[in-house]
Amino acid sequence: MDKNYVKIPAVMNSNVSLKVIRGHFATSHSHINCFFDITTMKTRCSEAHNVASLLAMHYSVDTQVDTIICMDGMEVIGTYLAEELTKSGILSINAHKTIYVVSPEYIASGQIIFRDNMQIALRGKHVLLLLGSITTGRSLATILESVHYYGATVSGACAIFSAVDEVRGIKVAAAFHASDVPDYESYKTSECPLCKKKVPIDALVNSFGYSLL
């Protein structure tokens, strides 16, 4: 599937490019006509650092960030993002003057949890949520509910790609937006025109990757 793709460079940093694969794809909440393969951004140190530098530009020195919560396997980017924010003088109340970088755990029901030993990074902290991609915003809304339950204050949310600008009053910063991919479309499952035309689904996708059908 990945043979037919194009790379779209980021407006603010040409060293960061989004790999776009066109087709008919199903996410957990919608159908989309473009899949964004962010594998190398998440796993190659040089690319991860470039993405982190780009995302860090969205935050001013008066933004407080004590913890970065990494979703979708974004830990490498999250580590570089913590480094970039620290260098830029972002505020942190942590005793060691450094930013926590953590990931949640998913239990069998799909619920997001943080074990007791991890909650030191959440309770009373200002957290930045880091995701791979955001299409409808429903997954982000679920994360917001979880971190609020654990007593954290959300300073912001960011992603490599986002089709939404805001979720429940939280602004979303992204390296790429839907406007950067002119033909990108996201549909409710029941309203997908590709399904109505009986176009087969190419793959089930999420921020971790794709599973061909």
Q: What is the pLDDT of residue 3?
A: 56
Question: 104 is written with which tokens?
Answer: 């949640």
**Length of the chain measured in residues:** 213
Helix (H, G, I), strand (E, B) or coil at 45: helix
pLDDT in tens, 41-91: 999 999 999 999 999 999 988 899 999 999 999 999 999 999 999 998 888
| C-alpha span between 160 and 162 (Å, rounded) | 7
Indicate the Cα dihedral angle 111, 76, 4, 200, nearest 10°: 0
Q: What is the pLDDT of residue 97?
A: 81
pLDDT in tens, 161-174: 999 999 999 999 99
145 pLDDT more than 90 = yes
pLDDT in tens, 3-45: 578 999 998 888 899 999 999 999 988 999 999 999 999 999 9
Domain 5-212, CATH 3.40.50.2020 — does that match?
yes
DSSP one-letter string for 129-193:
EEEEEESSSHHHHHHHHHHHHTT-EEEEEEEEEES-SEETTEEEEEEEEGGGSTT--EE-GGG-H
Decide if 39 contacts 21 (C-beta within 8 A).
no
Decide if 191 contacts 162 (C-beta within 8 A).
no
Q: What is the pLDDT of residue 1?
A: 59
* Every domain of the chain and the residues it spans: 5-212
Mean pLDDT of 97-113: 88
Q: What is the pLDDT of residue 71?
A: 95
Q: What is the pLDDT of residue 37?
A: 94
Question: 17 is written with which tokens?
Answer: 């490019």
End-to-end, the C-alpha distance of the chain in Å comes to: 11
Residue 25: name the closest of 197, 195, 203 by CA: 203
Q: Give the pLDDT band (50/70/90) at residue 206.
A: confident
pLDDT in tens, 40-54: 999 999 999 999 999
Mean pLDDT of 174-194: 93
2 pLDDT more than 70 = no
Mean pLDDT taken over the chain: 92
Q: What is the pLDDT of residue 20?
A: 95
